[in-house]
Amino acid sequence: MKAIRFHEYGGPEVLRYEDAPKPEPAPGEVLVRVHAAGINPVDWKIRQGYMKAMRPYPLPLIPGWDLSGVVETNGPGATRFQPGDGVYSRPDLGRNGAYAEYIAVREEELAVKPKTLDHLHAAAVPLTALTAWQALFDAGGVTAGQTVLIHAAAGGVGSFAVQLAHWRGARVIGTASARNHEYLKSLGCDQAIDYTTTRFEDVVRDVDMVLDTMSGETRARSWSVIRKGGILVTILGPGPSEEEAASRGVRAALFLVRADAAQLSEIAQLIDAGIVKVHLDAVFPLADAAHAHELSATNRVRGKIVLKVV
């Protein structure tokens, strides 16, 4: 099969479009014909070798941990899907990914894709929508009537977080440059803050939760806007300082997304009901993954980038 692989860590130029072995589905796995693969910052972080201490990958590696496609065959004992089913997934980050014509995925990591989306849009959903869902509801415990501050609200995670928090009945404040403010309002954001001209801590106070997608200085400045007993949920390590949180009377959690087919099914229902929308910033052919990585690494993407495989 054709795939994008890298044989050594490095810049976008290490990505090679080449022949790779077609995977065999092991027991409990499903072979999926990939139609589209979503791009996420973790893809180029892994390509750069940023995570090699944590995850020593055998190289060459196929990157890409977001996909939409069609079930080709079931491995031994896999029964949840039939050949021809349209599925989407955030497959295991520890294995070969989805920048390829085929991928073998554990069946519990797959869900039926939203019926109202084509594969390009469906591939943009799983990783970031699951991250937003788990950060807001599992880690943050957001409920109706609360106020949430979402950093990088126009990005991949932020775009879903704004919509999901709004759907839950929370008041949503988001940070983005001014060019994204109309976009944020279209997602249900109640207050958009231009981080290039306004320090958010000057205009926000007593929020119930901050979703930290930035770390660094943004996280450091976020403590002061959280109400006593509120929570900062970050999706970037190293984790927040427990002492800092305790000294301010707030809670803090570092959180890493996990595959969850039941949550992916709920997200598909929200999409099919027209409650959650998917914005594509750019689509690249599979062979052009290097340009997709360059665009993602600018940190200026609105919504998502995807690779078209079929």
Ligand X SMILES: NC(=O)c1ccc[n+]([C@@H]2O[C@H](COP(=O)([O-])OP(=O)(O)OC[C@H]3O[C@@H](n4cnc5c(N)ncnc54)[C@H](OP(=O)(O)O)[C@@H]3O)[C@@H](O)[C@H]2O)c1
Contact residues: ligand X, CB under 6 A: 40-42, 128, 131, 151-152, 154-158, 175-177, 180, 195, 213-214, 218, 235-236, 256-257, 296, 299-302
- The set of residues, in sequence order, having a beta carbon less than 8 Å from that of 176 and lying 6+ positions away, is 152, 153, 154, 158, 183, 184, 192, 193, 194, 195
**Shortest distance in whole angstroms from residue 138 CB to ligand X:** 12
Nearer to ligand X, 9 or 17 (CB): 9
Classify strands 147-150 and 226-234 as parallel, antiparallel or unpaired: unpaired
Residue in the shown chain whose Cβ atom is closest to ligand X:
155
**Shortest distance in whole angstroms from residue 252 CB to ligand X:** 14
Nearest 5 degrees, angle CA 212-CA 147-CA 135?
A: 40
* Gap between the terminal Cα atoms of the chain: 12
Nearer to ligand X, 104 or 214 (CB): 214
Nearer to ligand X, 154 or 187 (CB): 154
**Shortest distance in whole angstroms from residue 20 CB to ligand X:** 25
Nearer to ligand X, 293 or 302 (CB): 302
**Neighbouring C-alpha atoms within 13 Å toward the C-beta of 76:** 2
Other CB atoms within 10 A of residue 238 CB: 8
**Shortest distance in whole angstroms from residue 222 CB to ligand X:** 11
**Shortest distance in whole angstroms from residue 76 CB to ligand X:** 31
Nearer to ligand X, 71 or 207 (CB): 207
Taking CB atoms within 8 Å and a gap of at least 24, the contacts of 89-92 are 89/32, 89/126, 89/259, 89/264, 90/65, 90/66, 90/126, 90/127, 90/130, 90/257, 90/259, 90/264, 91/65, 91/67, 91/259, 92/65, 92/259
- Angle at which helix 156-168 crosses helix 126-133, to 10 degrees, equals 50
Nearer to ligand X, 122 or 301 (CB): 301
**Shortest distance in whole angstroms from residue 65 CB to ligand X:** 10
